Structure 1
Amino acid sequence: MDYQIARHNMVENQVRTNKVTDPLVIAAMEEVPRELFLPEGKRGIAYVDEDIPVGDGRFAMEPMVIARLMQSAQIAETDVALVIGAGFGYGSALISRVAETVVAVESNKEMSAAAEAAFQKVNYDNVIVVEGDLAAGYAKQAPYNVIIFDGAVSEVPAGILDQVAEGGRLLAVVREAGKVGVARLYERENGVIGHRDLFDANIPYLPGFEPAESFVF
C-alpha cells in the first residue's frame, strides 16, 4: 500500500472538503504518517474516514475532526499544548507540527510507550509523553496555550479548565447524555472561561469521561 498517496487523498477528500483551510493544519495532515501511530494490525485502514478502534476502549479520532479542532484552536508556533488521551499519538503528532511543545497525557502504559517509539521514529522531539490520570491533565507544566481532548467527553473537568492560560483555548467534543456530540471551544479572557459550540461531531468517548449513569425509580 502506498501510504503517501493514501495520506494525500485523505487530505484532499476528507479534510479540505470539510472547511479546513488553515495551511499549517493541512501541511501537518500531509506530513504525519498516521499508519505509524496505530497498532500494526490497523495500519492498512489508517486513512479511512472514521474513528479507528485501537484497544482498551480507545479510538484514533477521525482525521477530519482532529483537523477541525486544530484549526479552531488557532495554534501558534510559540504555543505550548496539552493533549488529553494521547493513545498511540496521532493527534499529538499533528499538533507538534504546529505548536512549539506538546505535552501528551496517556493513562495506558503500552499506548504511551508505543506513542513514544513512533515519535522517535519520525524524530518529533518536541512531544513529551506523560503517564497519568487523564482527568487530572498535567498541572505540573500548566498553564497551556492550547488543550485538546483526543476523544469525546460528557463534560470538561474543572481542574483541566484551570490549566488554560490567559488567552488560551481548550477544544473538546462534548457529548452530553442523550445528545449529539458537539465540538466546543473554551477560551480564557480576563481570567474568565467562556465557551461556544462550533460543529457537530459524534466521536467515541474517552474511557472515564462518559456520562454518569442515571437511576430511574
Structure 2
Amino acid sequence: MNIEQARFNMIEQQIRPWDVLDQDVLNLLSIVKRENFVPAAYRQLAFADLEIPLPAGQHMLAPRVEARVLQELAVKKHESVLEIGAGSGYMAALLAHRSQHVLTVEIEPELAELAKANLANNGVLNAEVVTGDAARGWAGAAPYDVICVSGGLPVLPQEILEQLKVGGRLAAFVGTLPVMKAQIITRVDEKQFRVADVFETVVEPLTNAVQPPRFKF
C-alpha cells in the first residue's frame, strides 16, 4: 500500500466531501499519522471509511467523523480539552496539536495503556491519559474549554455540561438507535447552552453511559 497516496485519497475523497474545508484540519490529518494509532492487524484499513476494531470490543471512529468533529470544535492553542474515551489515542493526538493540553479518560485499562504508548511514540507531549469512568464527565480538572465525547450518549448528563467554561464547546453523539445526532453544544452563560445538530450518525454508547428513563405502566 502506498501510504501517502492512501492518506491523500482519504482526505480528498472521504473527508473534504463531508464539508471538512478548514485547511488547518486537513493539514493536521497529514501531520498526525493515523496508521500509527491503528492496531497492527488493521493497518491496511487505516484510511478506510469505516470504524476500526480496537481491543476490549471498542472501535476507532471513521476518519470523516473525527475530522468533522475536530473542525466543528474549532479548538484554539490556549484551550484545555477533556476527551471522554481515549481509544487508541488518535483523537487525543489531533486535539493536542490544536490545544494547550488534553486530558483523555479511558475506562478500559488495556486501551488506556495503548493510548499512552501511541501518544508517546508519536511525540505528543501535551496529552495525558487517565484510566477511569468519565461517563458523567471528569470533575477533577474542570472546567474545560472543550469537551469531546468519543462515544455515544443516549442521554447527555447535566454533570458534563456543568464542566464547560462559559464560551466552551462540547461535541457529543446524542441519542439512541436508529437516529443519533452529532451535536456541538456551546455554553452561552452560567445557565444557557446553545445546541447545534451537525450530522446524523450511529455510535456505540460509552460504557456506563447514562440511560434514558424507562416508562412504567
Question: What TM-score do you get using the length of structure 2 for normalisation?
Answer: 0.92
List per-residue Cα deviations over 1:19-76 (Å, max 9, x = no partner). 0011221122111111221222122211110111213231101111111111111111
Q: What is the alpha-carbon root mean square deviation over aligned residues?
A: 1.9
Aligned ranges 1:115-130 → 2 under 5 Å: 115-130=115-130
Q: What is aligned with 1:61?
A: 61
State the identity as a percent.
34
- Determine if the alignment matches structure 1 residue 28 to structure 2 residue 28: yes
Q: Shift of residue 211 of structure 1?
A: 4.3
- Determine if the alignment matches structure 1 residue 188 to structure 2 residue 191: no
Q: What is aligned with 2:51?
A: 51
CA–CA distance in 1 between the matches of 2:140 and 2:22?
A: 31
Letter in 2 for 1:120: A
Q: Shift of residue 99 of structure 1?
A: 1.3
Asked if 2 retains the 8 angstrom alpha-carbon contact of 1:153 and 1:172, the reply is yes
Q: What is aligned with 1:90?
A: 90
Aligned ranges 1:93-108 → 2 under 5 Å: 93-108=93-108
Asked if 2 retains the 8 angstrom alpha-carbon contact of 1:24 and 1:98, the reply is no
Q: What is aligned with 2:140?
A: 140
SS across alignment from 1:92: helix
Change in CA separation of 1:3 and 1:205 when aligned onto 2, cut-off 3 Å: farther
Asked if 2 retains the 8 angstrom alpha-carbon contact of 1:154 and 1:211, the reply is yes
Asked if 1 retains the 8 angstrom alpha-carbon contact of 2:81 and 2:146, the reply is yes
SS across alignment from 1:152: strand
Q: What is aligned with 1:157?
A: 157
Runs of 4+ in 1 over 3 A off after TM superposition: 210-217
- Determine if the alignment matches structure 1 residue 208 to structure 2 residue 204: no
Which stretch of structure 1 is more off in the superposition, 198-207 or 61-70? 198-207
Asked if 2 retains the 8 angstrom alpha-carbon contact of 1:51 and 1:203, the reply is no
CA–CA distance in 2 between the matches of 1:190 and 1:212?
A: 26
Asked if 2 retains the 8 angstrom alpha-carbon contact of 1:25 and 1:98, the reply is no
Letter in 2 for 1:130: V
CA–CA distance in 2 between the matches of 1:201 and 1:99?
A: 26
Asked if 1 retains the 8 angstrom alpha-carbon contact of 2:135 and 2:207, the reply is no
Change in CA separation of 1:144 and 1:213 when aligned onto 2, cut-off 3 Å: closer
CA–CA distance in 1 between the matches of 2:70 and 2:157?
A: 20
Letter in 2 for 1:67: A
